[in-house]
Structure 1
Amino acid sequence: MFHIYCPYCEEYREEEEFHAKGQAHIARPLDPDNCSDREWGEFLYFRDNPRGLHHELWVHATGCRKFFNITRDTQTYEIKETYKIGVQPSVSANPDQ
């Protein structure tokens, strides 16, 4: 078992209290009514699955119930940082992220 820091509760809690919800920082199409089927399908179903650093969306399901982001190494499972929604990550494998 490991502990995850919730940036809203401002404390470490057991991993069982949290649920991963997928890739973070995915922009919704500005005009979904005018997207092609291909564009809409890519938004809904296609996500990055890198080896190494990855930004993920998580929820503190049994705590404050708020969503936040985690930067995690998918090879070692090490959590590099947690941060609130709307904040940019300070740790990134790609300087453009």
Structure 2
Amino acid sequence: MLIIDCPHCGPREEAEFACGGEAHIARPLAENNITDAEFADYLFLRDNPKGLFLERWRHTAGCRRWFNVARDTVTHEIVEIYPMGALPKSKPAASAFKKSWRRQSPAEKAASPKTTSAKTGSAKASASKGRIR
């Protein structure tokens, strides 16, 4: 049995958790248009790699909180556990994040807010750095 170290409750057996699938899937914003085919890719395509994979997990029998796990799908070794909304910090997990085809997908690009005026230009620049004022 896999032991998962919940960041809020500590180490617990896998039976206490539910896997929520692939992590870091950006949801396209309503004001950004993408084609039906591109939206279908966002909605239905999921990776199932052999090797390191970034997943969302929920501690259903404990604190009920969500968190991310970088796990090797062959050995089930957990490389890193990190909070929702954060990016992986370990070198292998960060590399897996950057290599994902999703980083270049139209849905990922459509998840960024578009700005239309010069006044909001600074907000766009800050958003690209991960901060919104």
Give the TM-score normalised by structure 2.
Answer: 0.65
CA distance in 2, matches of 1:32, 1:66: 30
CA distance, structure 2, for counterparts of residue 31 and residue 82 of structure 1: 31
Asked whether 1:37 is paired with 2:36, we answer yes
Residue identity over aligned pairs, in percent, reads 49
1:5 aligns to 2:5 (yes or no): yes
Query: What's the TM-score once normalised by structure 1's chain length?
Result: 0.87
* Structure 1: runs of 5+ lacking an equivalent: none
Q: Report how many residues are paired.
A: 96
Which amino acid is the alignment partner of residue 44 of structure 2? Y
Higher-strand-fraction structure: 1
- After superposition, the C-alpha distances for 1:18-42 in whole angstroms (9 at most, x for unaligned) are 0111110111012377332111111
SS of match in other structure, 2:87: coil
- Select the structure that is richer in helix: 2
**Alignment of structure 1 residues 1-97 onto 2, 5 Å:** 1-9=1-9, 11-31=10-30, 34-91=33-90, 92=93, 94=95, 97=98
Name which one, 1 or 2, has greater alpha-carbon Rg.
Answer: 2
Determine helix, strand or coil for the equivalent of 1:34: coil
